[in-house]
């Protein structure tokens, strides 16, 4: 009995001694193992590395464009027309106008068509029907079709064939719109689906019709998401060159474009054309064009992001 009590007393003293030592060294909770500490440092570092690779790419392009084309970064670059002869005074006026025509046409086409298709698929289509599921699958596949294929489609159906518009900016707009439409539909559907069903029920329970509910509740609530999808689509359309080469964006157009007459050119196509020239000055001009494109993209995206944040909603 007394031995037992002694053991107890000793164990108690040992505990007090350990606690005292810990308190003295400030190590009350003990330390996690080396492995744990290492993992806690290494993985965030790897993730940061992945991020920095992406950012480095972007930074490299911007730095390159500024260093190479910075000497041409002035108003002349935007306002002067194209020239094959005089690189020093040549600019991008026709190309910028051509891009604006094409992009304008693309926006006019993809917003109503994309949002309309998305509303139908999300709000009206009966998903138990096989044809609706088939349509969904096809839209997703369509988003992955290479752009050159759409170029051929545009050549066959818009430039020639049923529409026979010829090699004009409108043909380019229609072709690129077909290319980016699936992206817009998918993004708009996501945005519409993100509107909680309780909002729809609340509206319908007040005696609003389905269309009134969509028009006054669902679409305003989905607006920011739809806008995001449209921005991404427009940014992609802005940078597309391949399909446009097939439908009329050709070398060295020296006149301002119009929607339904004459050939046209766009910024990426013109950058490509300049960079093909052997003279050093044209390389500088091409870099200047890249600078113009990046600037335009940043301006458009900032504007759209500002608009989106203004309409952003929280549930």
Partner 1 sequence: MMEKTIDVMRQAKRNTAIDADDHGLSLPTGEFAQPEYHEQRERAFELRNVSVHYGDTPAVKDVTMDIFRNNITALIGPSGCGKSTLLRCMNRMNDLIPSATVEGTLRYHGEDIYGPKVDPVQVRKIIGMVFQKPNPFPKSIYDNVAFGPRTLGMKGNEREIVKDALVRAGLWDEVKDRLDDNAYGMSGGQQQRLCIARCIAVEPDVILMDEPCSALDPISTARIEDLMLELKERYSIVIVTHNMQQAARVSDMTGFLMVQLTEDEKSRWGELVEYDETAKIFTNPADARTEDYIAGKVG
Using CB under 8 A, list all residues that contact partner 1. Answer: 126, 128, 196, 198-209, 212, 216-217, 221, 313-315
Least Å distance between CB 124 and partner 1?
A: 11
Least Å distance between CB 202 and partner 1?
A: 4
- Which residue, 126 or 280, has its beta carbon nearer to partner 1? 126
Whether 173 contacts 258, CB under 8 Å: no
> Percent helix, strand, coil in the chain (nearest 5)?
75, 0, 25
Least Å distance between CB 208 and partner 1?
A: 5
Least Å distance between CB 215 and partner 1?
A: 9
Least Å distance between CB 191 and partner 1?
A: 13
**In sequence order, what are the residues at sequence separation of 6 or more whose Cβ sits closer than 8 angstroms to the Cβ of residue 296?**
96, 238, 267
- Which residue, 109 or 221, has its beta carbon nearer to partner 1? 221
- Which residue, 200 or 263, has its beta carbon nearer to partner 1? 200
- Which residue, 26 or 207, has its beta carbon nearer to partner 1? 207
- Which residue, 144 or 207, has its beta carbon nearer to partner 1? 207
Whether 274 contacts 143, CB under 8 Å: no
- Which residue, 125 or 142, has its beta carbon nearer to partner 1? 125
Tokens of 85: 């002869």
What angle, 0 to 180 degrees and rounded to 10, lies between the N-to-C axes of helices 267-276 and 219-239?
20
Tokens of 164: 């026979």
Q: Is 224 left (phi over 0), alpha (psi -120 to 50) or beta?
A: alpha
- Which residue, 222 or 287, has its beta carbon nearer to partner 1? 222
Whether 258 contacts 171, CB under 8 Å: no
* C-alpha pair distances (Å), 264 with each of 120, 211, 259: 35, 41, 9
What are φ and ψ of residue 264, in 5° steps?
A: -145, 175
- Which residue, 26 or 197, has its beta carbon nearer to partner 1? 197
Least Å distance between CB 223 and partner 1?
A: 11
Least Å distance between CB 198 and partner 1?
A: 4
Tokens of 1: 């009995």
Tokens of 68: 């190479």
Give the C-alpha separation, 284 to 85, whole Å.
14
Least Å distance between CB 308 and partner 1?
A: 15
Buried b (16+ CB within 10 A) or exposed e, 100-130: bbbbebbbebbbeebbebbbebbbebeeeee
């Amino acid at each position: 009995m007394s031995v037992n009590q002694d053991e107890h007393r000793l164990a108690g003293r040992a505990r007090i001694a350990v606690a005292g030592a810990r308190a003295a060294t400030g190590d009350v909770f003990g330390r996690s193992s080396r492995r744990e500490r290492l993992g806690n440092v290494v993985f965030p570092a790897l993730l940061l590395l992945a991020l920095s690779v992406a950012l480095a790419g972007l930074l490299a392009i911007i730095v390159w464009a500024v260093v190479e084309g910075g000497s041409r970064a002035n108003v002349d670059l935007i306002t002067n027309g194209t020239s094959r002869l005089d690189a020093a005074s040549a600019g991008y006026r026709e190309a910028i106008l051509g891009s604006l025509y094409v992009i304008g046409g693309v926006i006019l086409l993809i917003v109503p068509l994309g949002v309309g298709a998305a509303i139908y698929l999300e709000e009206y289509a009966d998903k138990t029907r096989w044809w609706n599921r088939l349509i969904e699958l096809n839209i997703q596949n369509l988003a992955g079709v290479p752009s050159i294929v759409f170029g051929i489609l545009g050549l066959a159906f818009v430039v020639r064939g049923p529409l026979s518009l010829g090699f004009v900016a409108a043909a380019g707009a229609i072709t690129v719109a077909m290319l980016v439409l699936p992206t817009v539909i998918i993004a708009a559907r996501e945005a519409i689906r993100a509107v909680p069903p309780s909002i729809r029920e609340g509206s319908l329970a007040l005696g609003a019709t389905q269309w009134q509910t969509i028009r006054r509740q669902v679409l305003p609530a989905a607006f920011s998401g739809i806008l995001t999808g449209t921005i991404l689509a427009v940014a992609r359309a802005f940078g597309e060159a391949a399909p446009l080469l097939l439908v009329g964006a050709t070398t060295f157009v020296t006149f301002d474009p119009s929607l339904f007459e004459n050939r046209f050119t766009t910024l990426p196509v013109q950058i490509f054309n300049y960079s093909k020239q052997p003279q050093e000055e044209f390389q500088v001009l091409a870099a200047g064009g890249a600078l113009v494109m990046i600037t335009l993209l940043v301006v458009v995206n900032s504007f759209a992001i500002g608009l989106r944040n203004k309409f952003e909603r929280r549930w």
